[in-house]
Amino acid sequence: MAKHESIKAVPTAKDFRGSVSPDWCPGCGDFGVLRALEMACAKLGRENHDYLTIGGIGCSSNLPGYINTYGMHTLHGRTLPIATGAKLGNHDLTVIVTGGDGDGYGIGGNHFVHTMRRNVDLLYVVMNNQIYGLTIGQASPTSRMGMKTKSTPFGNVEAPLNPVAMAIIAGATYVARGFSGDTRHITELMYQGMEHKGFALVDIFSPCITFNKDNTFPFFKQRVKKLEEIGHDPSDMQAAIEQGMVWGDEIPVGLFYQDTSRAPLDELEPVLGEGGPIAHRELGITKEQGDAIIKRMM
Ligand SMILES: Cc1ncc(C[n+]2csc(CCOP(=O)(O)OP(=O)(O)O)c2C)c(N)n1
Ligand code: SF4
Ligand SMILES: [Mg+2]
């Protein structure tokens, strides 16, 4: 069965625009990510109810409230286990997780590693602004050494983690990076990430114009270099890690790594093999038994 067999109509990006306007600071990089995600969903061609968008806590994690799909606003750092449960509960859904560098690489770091190891079929979009935006400007796991923030007034003494290299090593089967100033490029990266069967990370430089005065739009505009233009082969794991380690006057963006040989978790789980998504199956218990369980849990 084709991955997206339930396609019925061809929606436009406008169909994915939510009814609530984002309360992000005017000029925040997250606006570009939201617009690109709307376009990527339209390009994939599924209907609104075929998508579930899940966020944690943070400016970036508020995105599910602004896009017209099913959505969940969950706990700080806990999006990935919730997304895993949702995907296994209804593996016909296109599951998208959105969040920040603090949410995903800090408090949620353990889940990040294990969700990639399991190759859960979802798109994970991290708006990496190298700062805690919502809590007004503390250092995050991707803040550079020496960076002055509210929590590091004398300069950050911790080394940043490298999400791209980490994702490749941990078992993600689609690893990409983009810049929110290039909406067309990130639309394509996110679209391909949803098409991919398995865990797809799209780490996006999404400047926090209010609290990060180092990693700004001009900073990235001057440095980003598309991997497509330098002839990188995304099936070459070693080359992908090497490119992932590059950080300087040029910073690579694009598709670093893709492995299409590994099946995603939902295809390997025997219980899901026959009978369609669990969410659509009969419960196999009587109404009385169901009522008793609900009563006990209330
Ligand atoms: C368990 C828990 N710890 C801490 C917080 C406080 N908190 C809320 S958002 C956040 C960090 C947000 O940073 P990031 O994920 O990078 O998102 P951004 O706002 O930068 O988009 C923190 C520490 C919380 N809400 N819950
Ligand atoms: S604080 Fe930073 S990340 Fe949050 S909305 Fe404002 S610019 Fe964006
Ligand atoms: Mg952040």
User: Exposed, middle or buried by CB within 10 Å (0-12, 13-18, 19+), for 297?
Assistant: exposed
Domain-by-domain residue ranges, the chain?
Answer: 13-269
The residue whose CA has the least distance to atom 1 of ligand 2 is 133
> How confident is the model at residue 251, as a pLDDT?
98
Cα 70 vs. chain centroid, distance in angstroms?
A: 16
Confidence of residue 274 (pLDDT cuts 50, 70, 90): confident
Average pLDDT over residues 21-50: 98
* CATH T-level topology, domain 13-269: Rossmann fold (3.40.50)
Span 204-239, pLDDT tens digits:
999 999 999 999 999 999 999 999 999 999 999 999
- Ligand 2 atom closest to Cα of 136? 1
Please state the three-class secondary structure of 193-251 as a single string: HHHCCCEEEEEEECCCCCCCCCCCHHHHHHHEEEHHHHCCCCCCHHHHHHHHCCCCCCE
Ligand number with the minimum distance to the CA of 60: 1
Tokens, residue 74: 């969950």
Q: How far is the CA of 111 from the centre of ligand 2 (A)?
A: 24
Residues whose CB is under 5 A from ligand 3 (ion)?
A: 100-102, 129, 133
Please tell me if the CB atom of residue 107 comes closer than 6 angstroms to any atom of ligand 2.
Answer: no
Please tell me if the CB atom of residue 30 comes closer than 6 angstroms to any atom of ligand 2.
Answer: yes
- Ligand 1 atom closest to Cα of 57? 9
> How confident is the model at residue 10, as a pLDDT?
84
Q: How far is the CA of 210 from the centre of ligand 2 (A)?
A: 6
Please tell me if the CB atom of residue 28 comes closer than 6 angstroms to any atom of ligand 2.
Answer: yes
Confidence of residue 3 (pLDDT cuts 50, 70, 90): low
Q: Are 93 and 66 contacting, i.e. CB atoms less than 8 angstroms apart?
A: no
> How confident is the model at residue 1, as a pLDDT?
46
> Would you say residue 193 has pLDDT above 80?
yes
Span 52-87, pLDDT tens digits:
999 999 999 999 999 999 999 999 999 999 999 999
Q: Which residue in 110, 114, 122, 223 sits closest to 161, CA to CA?
A: 110
State the pTM of this model: 0.95
> Would you say residue 5 has pLDDT above 70?
no
